[in-house]
Structure 1
Amino acid sequence: MKNTTILAVQIALVFSLAACSKKPEETPAGAPAAAADAAPSLADLQNPQAVNKAVAATLPKGDPATPLSAYRKIDSGHQVMFMYYALSNMPAPYDEIAKTYSDEYRRTSDSFKQRDILKALQPRIDGEIAGAKNGRYVVVDQQDSRLLQRYDFEKKAFAINDFSDDRYTFFNDNSQYTLATTNAADFAAFKVSDEAKAREIEGYLSAYKPLRMETYAYAQDADPSNRRIKLQVMKVRLLDARGTVLAEM
C-alpha cells in the first residue's frame, strides 16, 4: 500500500514537472523567477524527504478548530494498536491481538480455553477499533527535564529536543505499534518573546526540573510496513508540574 502511494506521488511529480515546465522564451517578461523554482524537479524523485513530504500532502488533514477537549489521551500501546487497525482497514487478526492484549489468553496453552477467551474478547476488540476510528484526534503527554534546548536569544525560542518526523514514539505495554509525525518541522520550537516567561522556563531547565509537553494531533494514516500511525501535529503545549501552561504553539 505504501509503495503504491509513493509511486502514485512520483508519477504525479513527473506530470506536474511536465505541465509546469516552460522554455525560456515562453516565460512572460517580468515573471517572478520563484515560480519556476517552486516547480518539482526530477531530482525530487530520488530525494526520500521530498517524496515523504509529497506523500504527507495527500493524507487527510485535521480541523484546527477542533476544541482541545475533543482530543483523547493516548498512553498505551494497545490504543495505538486499535488505531492502527481502525485506519488500515485490514481485517483484525484477533489471535495476534489477543496475545498482546490479554494476559490470560497469552498464558494458557489449552486450545479450548483460548477459543473461549477469544470468543469473549472479539466484541471488545471490535468496539475498541470502532472507537479508535471515531476518535482520530489524540493527545500524547511527555514529561522530562530534557524536553527543551536552552533559550536561543537570537530566535527568542526554546527548540524541542528529538521532535522530528524521522523519530517515533512507542509505549512499553505494546511496543509493536508506534506513532510518528508528518509535520514536526512546523512545531520545532516554542517562540517565547516575553523575557519574564523565558526566564521562568530557563529556570526549570537549569535546575533540571521536569516539564510536561502535550502534543495534540490528528491520526492521518496507518503505515503497514512498520505498524506505525502517522500523526498531523495540530498544537503543542508546554506545562509545568502543576499543569500551568508556560508556552504553546
Structure 2
Amino acid sequence: MNRFASRIVRLAPPTILALCLAACGKSNDTAPAAPEAAAPGLADLKNPEVMAKVAASTLPKGDPATPVSAYRKIDSGHQVMFLYYALANMPVPYEDIAQAYSDDYSRTSDSFKRNDIIKALQPRIDQEIANAKAGRYVMLEQQDSSLLQRYNFEKKSFAIDEFASDDRYRYFNDNSKYTLTNTNNSQFTAFPVPDEASARKIEGYLSKYAQLRMQTYAFVQDVDPSNRRVKLQVMKVRLLDPSGELLTEL
C-alpha cells in the first residue's frame, strides 16, 4: 500500500530569506541565552533538507494532550481527497471529485447524466469537506509482518520502517491520486523497548512473521498542491499484537 518518492519542499526565495534572517536575529535581552542549535544561514538556502525543516517549522502544530478518542480513522483515499480540499483553499473541482468518487459518473459519457450526478453529489461533497476541515486529528492503521526491524541490542529499540526518512508517502488503492506524508518522521524512527521481557515478546512475533498492527495518530497540518499531498504531524504511534493488545507506544 505504501509507495516512496523523493521530494524537495520549495519555498519562495523571499519567504526562505525572511525565515532564515529571523532565525539568525539576536535578542535585545542582556541575559545570556541558553545554548541552541545553529540557526540556518544564507548558505543553507541551497540545502533541501535544511529548507524542508524550516518549512515544517512554520506549519500549525497539533495539541499533544488531544485524547485518542478524538482521532478519526482514515482508511480510504476518498477521505484523503476530502482532507486535501478542506485545507487547499481553492475552488472545489466537483467534476474531478465525482470522477474519483462516483462509479456512475465515471462510467457514463452522457453530459446530462453527468450534470445530474454532480448536482446530486455536491451537497454530500461539501459536507465531507466540512467534516474533514473540522476533524484534523486522524489515525491510520497498518497491519503487516514487516513493520519493524529486528531488535537493536545496542540501542535497545525496534526501528520503524515507515518512519525511516521524511521523503516517504502513503496512498490508498481506492483513490491513489491523493497521498499522505509526515513532516516529523525523525522523531519516531524507533520504538524504545529497554525491558528484556517486552523486547523478547515483540521479537518473537517478528521471528514468526506475525501480522502486527501499528496505529499512527497525527494532526493534519497543510497540503502540497504540486502533488495533491496532505502533510501530517505524527503525534503518537502504537504497536499492537495480532489480537489488539498494546505492546509498546511512542
TM-score, normalised with respect to structure 1: 0.90
Equivalents in 2 of 1:7, 1:82: separation in Å?
31
Q: Quote the offset at 1:154 in angstroms.
A: 1.0
Partner of 1:115: 115
The one-letter amino acid of 1:95's match is: E
Q: Quote the offset at 1:42 in angstroms.
A: 2.2
**SS where residue 161 of structure 2 aligns?**
coil
Partner of 1:178: 179
2:160 is the alignment partner of 1:153: no
**Long gaps (5+) in structure 2:** 1-8
Equivalents in 1 of 2:86, 2:13: separation in Å?
22
Partner of 1:201: 202
Q: What percentage of residue pairs aligned between the two structures are identical?
A: 65
Equivalents in 1 of 2:159, 2:169: separation in Å?
18
Q: Quote the offset at 1:161 in angstroms.
A: 1.0
Equivalents in 1 of 2:186, 2:68: separation in Å?
21
Write out per-residue CA displacement over residues 200-224 of structure 1, whole angstroms, 9 at most, x where no aligned residue.
0000111111111000000000110
CA contact (8 A) 2:40 2:50 kept: no
Q: Quote the offset at 1:14 in angstroms.
A: 3.3
Write out per-residue CA displacement over residues 26-65 of structure 1, whole angstroms, 9 at most, x where no aligned residue.
xx9xx79955x62322221111111110111110000001
Partner of 2:136: 136
Aligned residues: 238
The one-letter amino acid of 2:19's match is: A
Equivalents in 2 of 1:6, 1:137: separation in Å?
31
Please say which structure displays the higher CA radius of gyration. Answer: 1
Of the structure 1 ranges 219-228 and 42-51, higher mean CA displacement relative to structure 2 is found in: 42-51
Of the structure 1 ranges 7-16 and 236-245, higher mean CA displacement relative to structure 2 is found in: 7-16
Equivalents in 2 of 1:234, 1:56: separation in Å?
14
CA contact (8 A) 2:84 2:178 kept: yes
CA contact (8 A) 1:183 1:232 kept: yes
The CA RMSD measured in Å over matched residues stands at 2.0
CA contact (8 A) 1:20 1:39 kept: no
Partner of 1:24: none
**SS where residue 59 of structure 2 aligns?**
coil
**SS where residue 20 of structure 2 aligns?**
helix
Write out per-residue CA displacement over residues 52-90 of structure 1, whole angstroms, 9 at most, x where no aligned residue.
101111100000010001100000000000000001111
Partner of 2:4: none
TM-score, normalised with respect to structure 2: 0.90
Going from structure 1 to structure 2, the CA distance change for 1:91 and 1:32 (only over 3 Å counts) comes to closer
Partner of 1:10: 17
Q: Which runs of 4+ in 1 moved over 3 A?
A: 2-7, 14-17, 31-35
Going from structure 1 to structure 2, the CA distance change for 1:218 and 1:202 (only over 3 Å counts) comes to same
CA contact (8 A) 1:216 1:235 kept: yes
2:96 is the alignment partner of 1:96: yes
CA contact (8 A) 1:10 1:51 kept: no
Of Structure 1 and Structure 2, which has the larger fraction of its residues in helix?
1
Partner of 2:241: 240
Going from structure 1 to structure 2, the CA distance change for 1:6 and 1:93 (only over 3 Å counts) comes to farther
Going from structure 1 to structure 2, the CA distance change for 1:244 and 1:131 (only over 3 Å counts) comes to same
Equivalents in 2 of 1:32, 1:131: separation in Å?
44
**Long gaps (5+) in structure 1:** 22-27
CA contact (8 A) 2:219 2:235 kept: yes
